[in-house]
Structure 1
Amino acid sequence: MPVRLEAPLRPRPVDEVGSASLDPAAVVLAFASIPLAGTPDATAQACVDAIRLLTHGPARLLVPTRPVPLSVGDAADGLVSVLRFHAAGGEGEMLASPEAAKIAPRLLALMAQQLARVWAVQQQRAEQTLELDQLRFHLGALQQVARTLAVVRGADETVRLVLDSVGEVFFAWWAALYHTDGEQYTCRAVRSLRGESVAFAIPARVVNAITGPGRPPIVPPEDAEIRDHVPAEVAVVAPLDFGDGGAGLLILGRRMTEAPYEAHDLALLRALADSSAIALRNAELLDRLRAQATIDPLTGCHNRRGFDEILEREMARAQRYGRPLSLVLLDIDRFKSINDDFGHEVGDHALQRIGRAVRHSFRSSDSACRYGGEEFALIFPETGRDEGSRLAEKMRVVVEQLPPNAEVPRTLTASFGVASFPDDAATIPDLIRAADRALYQAKTRGRNRVETA
């Protein structure tokens, strides 16, 4: 604990302040009692108390601490500069009464030495505290990102979470994720708080000139060519190794704090990049497995499981926002005769031709599904009955105009049934039944036609 005076301060005669009444042991003892584990403010106040005790007069201490210098003690009026001492931020100064300035030079030098020692320890402790705080922050960031990425999600959601997490940890204005095909790195996604445009391709040779899979993050030199390919200012580049030859980049822009990316930041970024690469690879595998589980291998359309999932999702959205939704069921006309006349291999080729046609004839928001056997289903979000009928008629013409070939040596036609939410049904089962009834009408009325519920 700092030594405190019990009696009011009073100036002493010069001869009492001189070296005769103040010896080196008293100086060392006074400063030895200063606690070094306190805050800079507390340490400065303890130093002032020690100086008051030694000089029996007022004192003020000026210490060039960072970022804000300290000035602690009595009012500076009437005080003079008695000594200066070395401190981490520069040179500190001790102010005291004019009488204190007459203390023997060797004792003043000893006081300066003791003050320098105190502030050297204080600086060392501050650096250790900062390092410990950085380690705590790094550990917290790693735990946060690990928790976020521990749950295996789809690729698009994982990309978003990676960019959000890394951007927030480093307070980066923007972050971008790139994948490579070996020839160039293509931007897959960007997280930008200021709208920077960074979605440019980067030649692989440019990236390879500064980094590559398995190497640590790097702050590119000012003359690095990669800066010519990314419009927003590049602050740091972290390579991603997806394994099996897959690679990518995590590029961060400047920080909102304007602080540079230091060695400890790059070490943290490397750990985050490694975790992100694992999460992204797992997400790609999950998407692949999901696709295998919901895609019909023969036609490339969604299978019945995919149909159920998509229709449930789109119906929920349509009901929630009061938007229309159309379902079209189509059935290949006289498909049994194709199998009977040409064999099941030709029948499979016919299904493949229809599958390709329905997959590539509509909007990206529409979904083509193999409903079962020779029957397909088309799901049209944001589409009312009239527009659904128009799209079904368009598909009917596409099928009818498929020319015979070596794989399918006859013309194909199909019948279509259209039903819409909310006009024809309010629930999924009712919507399917309405479309099925319309399909049955198309079959009984001559085939190769479109009927609505």
Structure 2
Amino acid sequence: PDWLPTGQEVIRLRSGQTDLAVIADPSIAHAVRPQATMIALGLSVVLELHGVLRERQAQLDDAVFQLRAMRQVARLLSSVHSTEETESMVLDFMAEVFFCWWACLYRQDGDRYVPRVVRSLKGSITLDPINAAALDRALPLDQPVNHTRDAAIGVLMPPTTQLVVSLGAGGERLAVLALGPRLHDQPYGSPECDLANTLSFAAAIALKNALLVTELQSAATTDPLTGLLNRRAMEERLGTELSRTHRHPICTTIVTIDLDRFKLVNDSLGHAAGDRCLVEVARVLKQQARTLDAVGRMGGDEFLIVLPMTTAEEAKAYLDRVHRGLATIEAEHPEFGRVSLSVGVAESPRHGSTQDTILSAGDAALYRAKRAGTGRVEIAEP
């Protein structure tokens, strides 16, 4: 109104952060003072209640925020997942709990922490590895959460990182989480840091459990000397591939292998040298195989290779690569003498449609190869 510049203050109330004034036309200021006082008192009460409600709402939001996080952790800990699945789940729930634009989980690989899983709401991003020694110095195990305002941390992390969370259990750092800016530019305050500290321990336990399960599974399926699949794992894999040949018009070929003159290496150089020879041969067999092939040690100096969607004749290409690889063993380890293999090849369903029949056919071909001399390859007879 046009009288406002010359208006008269009737009453002013101050309460906390509230400053309330009633201004009236000077001609009626005295007359409206009683009503203005009542109005001001009423408004001040309303404003105070509004402030209390806002504070309670913020507390309720924090409680819901933490409840959602705890529910995510409970889901993560209540079931067993692979290491890769657990890494993804940990990153997903941390990114969801803190509403951040991007997040990355790093795992140590040698002298670096490398990005294992990255999530971003702004399209794909590329993150570089981090020097492990520098990060371990800047982020001690007893300090699991750190703002990138700390210069020692900030210089190591991606430019927009705002919070770094270490996942540690049993005195061992299992992973490091980098969290980017939060949605709506909300800061990472003390409540968020405290929650991140709590969640980091639970997430580390989940990741540790997944790593232990992976180790147990590996121990149950891996030959401890060579790192190849063991007999049990190879039999399971062969069964899987044979069942596929029953459902589809494809073939699967097995290659049975014995190392020639292995007993001579053991007797003349000792069992340690024999083990080294087996490891080198296993390396070549694995190195020359395709991703879909299965390579295993059945025991002693006996190996088995399963070649899916491969005929017996096509398996010769794999054996040619193996033969060239054996030459490198002879050059690097002349003490072993000439390294050669006796090989039997059998194809399913042509030479057998069950595990017993195809393995018997492969063993028979291997026996014929050994009788014919050293370094021989024989294909099973129909």
TM-score interval w.r.t. the shorter chain? 0.7 to 0.9
Partner of residue 297 from structure 2, selected from 361, 370, 374? 370
Alignment of 1:100-139 (within 5 A): 104-139=32-67
Partner of residue 268 from structure 1, selected from 189, 195, 203? 195
Instruction: Look up the match of 2:169.
Output: 242
What is the alpha-carbon root mean square deviation over aligned residues? 4.3
Q: TM-score, normalised by structure 2?
A: 0.76
- Residues 393 and 158 of structure 1, relative CA distance in 2, 3 Å threshold: same
Q: Which runs of 5+ in 1 are unaligned?
A: 1-81
Instruction: Look up the match of 1:171.
Output: 99
Give the Cα–Cα distance (whole angstroms) in 2 for the partners of residues 88 and 196 of structure 1: 47
Q: Is the 8 A contact 1:167 1:252 kept in 2?
A: yes
Partner of residue 218 from structure 2, selected from 291, 294, 297? 291
Residues 376-431 of structure 1 show CA distances to partners (whole Å, capped at 9, x for unaligned) of: 01234565655432112322343466439999654332122334567766665565
Tell me the amino acid that sits aligned with residue 197 of structure 1.
T
Partner of residue 302 from structure 1, selected from 229, 241, 246? 229
Are 1:212 and 2:140 an aligned pair? yes
Q: Is the 8 A contact 2:342 2:366 kept in 1?
A: yes
Give the Cα–Cα distance (whole angstroms) in 2 for the partners of residues 108 and 391 of structure 1: 97
Higher helix share: 2
Instruction: Look up the match of 2:7.
Output: none
Residues 189-211 of structure 1 show CA distances to partners (whole Å, capped at 9, x for unaligned) of: 333342111132245435634x3
Q: Secondary structure at the match of 1:213?
A: coil
Instruction: Look up the match of 1:11.
Output: none
Using CA pairs below 8 Å that are at least 6 residues apart, which structure has the higher relative contact order?
A: 2
Structure 1 residue 141: Cα displacement:
1.5
Q: Is the 8 A contact 1:299 1:351 kept in 2?
A: yes
Give the Cα–Cα distance (whole angstroms) in 2 for the partners of residues 83 and 388 of structure 1: 98
Tell me the amino acid that sits aligned with residue 368 of structure 1.
V
Give the Cα–Cα distance (whole angstroms) in 2 for the partners of residues 363 and 372 of structure 1: 22
Q: TM-score, normalised by structure 1?
A: 0.66
Tell me the amino acid that sits aligned with residue 128 of structure 2.
A
Q: Is the 8 A contact 1:171 1:257 kept in 2?
A: no
Give the Cα–Cα distance (whole angstroms) in 1 for the partners of residues 38 and 249 of structure 2: 84
Structure 1 residue 176: Cα displacement:
1.6
Instruction: Look up the match of 1:191.
Output: 119
Larger mean CA deviation between 102-111 and 265-274 belongs to 102-111
Structure 1 residue 275: Cα displacement:
1.1
Residues 418-447 of structure 1 show CA distances to partners (whole Å, capped at 9, x for unaligned) of: 345677666655654554454345345545
Give the Cα–Cα distance (whole angstroms) in 1 for the partners of residues 62 and 127 of structure 2: 30
- Residues 336 and 260 of structure 1, relative CA distance in 2, 3 Å threshold: same
Q: Is the 8 A contact 1:202 1:226 kept in 2?
A: no
Q: Is the 8 A contact 2:18 2:44 kept in 1?
A: no
| Structure whose CA Rg is larger | 1
Structure 1 residue 264: Cα displacement:
1.8
- Residues 357 and 181 of structure 1, relative CA distance in 2, 3 Å threshold: closer
Give the Cα–Cα distance (whole angstroms) in 2 for the partners of residues 366 and 399 of structure 1: 19
Alignment of 1:338-349 (within 5 A): 347-349=274-276
Structure 1 residue 369: Cα displacement:
1.1
Q: Secondary structure at the match of 1:117?
A: helix
Tell me the amino acid that sits aligned with residue 59 of structure 2.
E
Give the Cα–Cα distance (whole angstroms) in 2 for the partners of residues 343 and 313 of structure 1: 38
Instruction: Look up the match of 1:449.
Output: 376
Partner of residue 278 from structure 1, selected from 199, 205, 212? 205
Give the Cα–Cα distance (whole angstroms) in 2 for the partners of residues 374 and 204 of structure 1: 42
Residues 239-272 of structure 1 show CA distances to partners (whole Å, capped at 9, x for unaligned) of: 2223344354211122344433232222222111
- Residues 183 and 295 of structure 1, relative CA distance in 2, 3 Å threshold: closer
Q: Which runs of 5+ in 2 are unaligned?
A: 1-9
Tell me the amino acid that sits aligned with residue 199 of structure 2.
L
Larger mean CA deviation between 287-296 and 361-370 belongs to 361-370
Tell me the amino acid that sits aligned with residue 233 of structure 2.
G
